[in-house]
Amino acid sequence: MPDTLSIATWNINSVRLRIDLVLRFLAEQQPDVLCLQETKCPNDLFPHSAFEKAGYRHRAIAGIKGYNGVAILSKRPIEPIEARNMCDKPDARHISARIGTGAKAVTVHNFYVPAGGDIADPDENPKFAHKLAFVEELKRFSDASRTDDPRAILVGDLNIAPLEHDVWSHKKLLDVVSHTPVETTGLLEVIAAGDWVDAMRVLKPEPEKVYSWWSYRSPDWETRDLGRRLDHVWLGKGLGAGLQSGQIFRETRGWERPSDHVPVLVTLALD
DNA sequence: ATGGTGGTTAGACCA
């Protein structure tokens, strides 16, 4: 086993519609592992053979019809662990797998946190209540993971931009779902509970602006640049010191028929 | 204050 691991996360917004974009990214960057969210693909319709041909012969998937769905694609052997029912719902928002063996093995957890709807009030908006409950569950998960599994990696579309410079305007977005205080505080508490290392923010500390998502609804996304950092790669306590590099593939937002999210790729040493 | 653009799948629902 090589002593580095490169792992990417990407909300693809339909893996079948955008299979060519995923294959292009894999061909160009060759990450060891790619975690997808919003595959929107039932398990029996997952495009296994396309990934097989691309060299991603090891996969763990959890999909349902129409919504959500997560997948872990790997060039190296993996052992699927579980697809958790977060908030007691079988709605395909988590999948995990073990990569490698022995002392260098790591556990990858791929999460898709609920977007939370438009109204930032849990009493008025059940989707926002669901999101807050999901974050609370992530807190308990992280607290347990910190002690049980220091070689864990948590990635995914967490649908929260926790820091001031994770959004184009902190003040203007304070009451916009994804950057409200209850969400940003909650996500920072998840990080604290797990002692997670926020990989991209180690490499690009505040106040640099870092985004991974630009709304479909905003025309001229590139010049206006009204982005948010919703996609994250967190390293467990035993892996944080190995962080080597990270990259956000903003250019994919300009590809034909793009996802509204772009890939985030992190490379780390495993020893 | 509002509406703006996408995907799934067949009328809404979700982002």
pLDDT digits (tens, 9 = 90+) for A2-45: 599 999 999 999 999 999 999 999 999 999 999 999 999 999 99
**CA–C1' A183–B1 (A):** 25
The average pLDDT across A216-240 equals 96
Per residue in A83-117, pLDDT (tens digit) is 999 999 999 999 999 999 899 999 999 999 999 99
Q: What is the pLDDT of residue A76?
A: 97
pTM of the model: 0.97
Which residues surround strand B, with CB < 7 Å? A 13-14, 16-17, 40, 42, 65-67, 114-117, 127, 159, 215-217, 219, 257
Q: What is the pLDDT of residue A261?
A: 98
A3-270 topology per CATH: Deoxyribonuclease I; Chain A (3.60.10)
Q: What is the pLDDT of residue A244?
A: 98
Q: What is the pLDDT of residue A2?
A: 57
The average pLDDT across A226-254 equals 97
SS3 sequence of A256-268: CCCCCECCEEEEE
User: Hey, how many other C-beta atoms are within 10 angstroms of the C-beta on A185?
Assistant: 13
Per residue in A51-85, pLDDT (tens digit) is 999 999 999 999 999 999 999 999 999 999 999 99
Is residue A1 over pLDDT 70? Answer: no
Q: What is the pLDDT of residue A121?
A: 97
The average pLDDT across A149-154 equals 97
Q: What is the pLDDT of residue A266?
A: 98
Rounded to whole angstroms, the Cα distance separating A113 from A175 reads 19
What are the C-alpha distances in Å from A117 to residues A124, A132, A136, A217? 11, 12, 18, 15
Nucleotide nearest to A230 (CA to C1'): B15
A240: helix, coil or strand? helix
Within 7 A of a protein CB, which nucleotides of strand B?
3-9, 14-15
**CA–C1' A255–B13 (A):** 27
- Residue A218: phi, psi to the nearest 5? -95, 115
